[in-house]
């Protein structure tokens, strides 16, 4: 870990309201994995964002927007997030979202295959669209027209846009986690 974890009693005046808002949002939308230390310090990407409130506050606002009332099914979101995390080999992201995906009913076999950077053979049509969409975008270049059309056909224009923004957002999360070498809790 390249940044010290900021204990609650060491937060600056600028960091304190952001930390409070993050803790409230984490309690509401990011459950099932370790993201707050016993003393209340924030882990995962939240700690780096707290270190730089100028950037962390707008990123946190985007985080809340991405988590608030999504139109895409949760399993579809988790597949896209895991494809992105696997591409970047982002340990904390994979740790957290494998747990979330398990709770959403994705099989261990599917998850292990995605985390290994491969496409599972037993994806549903929706899952396959999400996988292909995310895999194409993180590989670089323009999203193939047929992949875009399949997403619009299945999820609507808004859903396809949401999928794109979700993948872009988790690219940023992965890069944040990798930049600061954020570990999996307990490692």
| Cα 17 to Cα 11: distance, rounded to the nearest angstrom | 9
Stretch 12-33: mean pLDDT, rounded? 97
Per-residue pLDDT band at 82 (split at 50, 70, 90) = very high
Whether pLDDT at 149 is above 90: yes
Q: Is residue 13 pLDDT above 90, yes or no?
A: yes
Global pTM reads 0.97
Q: pLDDT tens digit string along 100-136?
A: 999 999 999 999 999 999 999 999 999 999 999 999 9
% pLDDT > 70, the chain: 100
Split at pLDDT 50, 70, 90, the class of 1 is very high
∠ Cα 142 173 52 (to 5°): 125
The pLDDT of residue 186 is 87
Average pLDDT over residues 53-82: 97
Average pLDDT, the chain: 97
* Alpha-carbon Rg for the chain in angstroms: 17
Q: Provide the pLDDT for residue 110.
A: 98
In this structure, what token pair is assigned to residue 49?
């964002």
Domain ranges (residues) in the chain: 8-67, 74-179
Is the model's pLDDT at 187 over the cut of 90? no
% of the chain at pLDDT higher than 90: 99
pLDDT on residue 153: 98
- pLDDT given at position 30: 95
DSSP string, the chain: --S----GGG--TTHHHHHHHHHHHHHHH--SS--B-TTS-B-TTHHHHHH-HHHHHHHHHHHHHHHSS-SS-HHHHHHHHHHHHHHHT-HHHHHHHHHHHHHTT--HHHHHHHHTT---TT--HHHHHHHHHHHHHHH-SPPPHHHHHHHHHHHHHHHHHHHHHHHHHHHHHHHHHHHTTPPPTT-
């Amino acid at each position: 870990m390249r940044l010290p974890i900021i204990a609650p009693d060491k937060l600056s005046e600028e960091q304190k309201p952001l930390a409070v808002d993050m803790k409230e949002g984490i309690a509401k939308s990011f459950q099932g994995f370790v993201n707050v230390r016993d003393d209340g310090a924030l882990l995962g990407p939240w700690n780096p964002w707290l270190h730089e409130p100028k950037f962390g506050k707008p990123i946190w606002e985007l985080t809340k927007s991405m988590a608030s009332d999504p139109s895409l099914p949760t399993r579809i979101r988790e597949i896209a997030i895991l494809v992105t995390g696997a591409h970047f080999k982002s340990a904390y992201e994979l740790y957290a979202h494998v747990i979330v995906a398990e709770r959403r009913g994705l099989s261990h076999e599917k998850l292990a295959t995605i985390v290994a950077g491969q496409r599972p053979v037993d994806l549903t049509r929706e899952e396959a669209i999400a996988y292909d969409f995310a895999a194409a975008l993180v590989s670089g270049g323009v999203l193939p027209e047929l992949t875009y059309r399949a997403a619009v056909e299945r999820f609507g224009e808004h859903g396809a846009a949401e999928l794109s923004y979700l993948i872009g957002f988790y690219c940023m999360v992965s890069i944040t986690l990798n930049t600061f070498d954020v570990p999996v809790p307990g490692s």
